[in-house]
Amino acid sequence: MDDSYFRLPCSLKLVKPAYDGNNASCKSPFANADAVPLSVFDKANFDQHIPLLFFFRPPAPPGAVLEAGLAKALAEYREWAGRRGTDAPVIVLNDAGVRFVQATADAAAAPGAPRDPTPEMLCLLPTNSDDDEELLMMIQVTRFTSCGSFAVGLSFLHLVADGHAVFNFLGAWGQATRGVGIHPVPVHDRVSLFKPRDPPRVEFDHRGVEFKTRQDEKAGYTTRQQNVLHPENDDEVVVTMVHFTRDMISTLKSQQASTGAPPPSRRSYSTLQCVVAHLWRCITKARGLSGSQLITRVHIAVNGRRRIRSSCSPRVPDGYTGNVVLWARPAMSVDDLTRRPLRETVEAVSRAISGTDERYFRSFVDFASSGVVEELGLVPAADAAETVLSPDVEVDSLVGLPIHGADFGTGAPVFYMPGYLPVEGVVFLVPSLAGDDGGVYAYVALFSHAVNAFKQCCYSISRGGGGRVKIRA
């Protein structure tokens, strides 16, 4: 379809939790809580709303059914119907509600496949006005009159939860709409799961990594201006999409595997590691950066649910409702990244991700709980005010998140994608759902002058015999 969405008159309301006495939350201590304190992982995350779009097959369920299901899901996930505390870093559980918009789009056709996010697609997301800062989640359901399919636009405050928890909530909404039990059962305890050790053991440097000083913040911005933002290149940020097919990924992985090494040293690399390394290199080349002294980093979100253990559970429960994310940060000089064999970059990415392990997560908990953050006036390095990341890159992978539970009666989404988020250097990785081809879509935000060079680098990958494999855009 083209970019001409026409949103027709819609309904807008605040949907509040609907309790019936059978909710799991009603049977837990969470039912009587007035507030939930933000965890150390929450407070270190981005203080911004993240937009996501999900597209579903027809027919769209009746609006009243979707609204009732949302109210039931909110009874299990009270955080989203709450508000941010004003005097303390907490979520106030006041059941104030979630903004719920229902709209219709008189468009030629709903998008049938993933595509580049554009500003025009913002009409599929709930609108945020100046007095809406306290809303933790906003939802819009848009029905396409031409084909009967529908889209769910979601905007959530990242301080409250990470992608895994948000997808669990979306699945709970679908389950409640279909009248089936909610699974996994949400776990709201943000305190006992992440208690610091006694005595604390800070084994890694977290200042300058998860936290920074105000002076570091200003210095970082100045460095970006000096090295990157030349006047002739100060143009608009666009989001372009690349489709890594299963064959493409197989080629990438086979090229980087150390097949010639003796068995003890032989190893292979994951899809994430290979795709991230390739994108990091192509983005850096497209930016026109060079120099052996200029350091570039790629910040890769790492889900701690399968890494950190707690005193009361073998693992962080799958239904945990908050953030459990830190970032692996491999670094290379620009010249090494763009000139050395790609396998070296893949290995750097692999080591950094592997190093963001339970020891690292536990060290972070001890550091963030020690009081030094407040004493030194440190602020999160995850800065929503940054709109240009060059020479760095940030990668958020949605691959492997529990999307198939998001079923409102017509099946899981045909596809989903990030909303329009024009932050230069941000990359979202999304799995290909249609046909289960095992592919990955990469949504990459770059200045418009860099897009062609990025495509030239990214769309072809050499085979061992000199042939090339095309990446579909």
Residue 397 sits in the same domain as residue 459: yes
Considering 194, 227, 247, which residue would you say is the last residue of a domain?
194
Which entry of 49, 158, 206, 299 is annotated as an active-site residue?
158
The pLDDT, as a whole number, for residue 464 is 42
- The answer, yes or no, to whether residue 230 has pLDDT greater than 70, is no
Residue 381 sits in the same domain as residue 420: yes
DSSP string, 151-204: EEEEEEETTT--HHHHHHHHHHHHHHHHT---SSPPB---SGGGPPPSS----S
- Three-class SS state of 383: coil
- The answer, yes or no, to whether residue 115 has pLDDT greater than 90, is no
Residue 305 sits in the same domain as residue 185: no
Domain membership flag for residue 263: yes
Which entry of 189, 366, 392, 407 is annotated as an active-site residue?
407
Active site residue 198: no
Please give the average per-residue pLDDT across 321-344, as a whole number. Answer: 97
Number of domains in the chain: 2
Please give the average per-residue pLDDT across 112-134, as a whole number. Answer: 75
Active site residue 158: yes
**pTM for the predicted model, two decimal places:** 0.90
Q: What is the CATH number of the domain that holds 216?
A: 3.30.559.10
Token pair of 171, please?
């699945």
Cis peptide leading into 17, omega within 30 of 0?
no
The pLDDT, as a whole number, for residue 4 is 56
Residue 75 sits in the same domain as residue 153: yes
CB-hemisphere CA count at 13 Å for 40?
25
Domain membership flag for residue 248: yes
Please give the average per-residue pLDDT across 222-228, as a whole number. Answer: 52
Domain membership flag for residue 6: no
Domain encompassing residue 71: 11-194
Domain membership flag for residue 2: no
Please tell me the distance from the alpha carbon of residue 125 to that of residue 100, in angstroms, as a whole number.
Answer: 11
- The answer, yes or no, to whether residue 276 has pLDDT greater than 60, is yes
Considering 124, 159, 194, which residue would you say is the last residue of a domain?
194
Token pair of 121, please?
């697609």
The pLDDT, as a whole number, for residue 28 is 62
Domain membership flag for residue 199: no
Residue 37 sits in the same domain as residue 131: yes
pLDDT digits (tens, 9 = 90+) for 360-402: 999 999 999 999 999 999 999 999 999 999 999 999 999 999 9
Domain membership flag for residue 396: yes
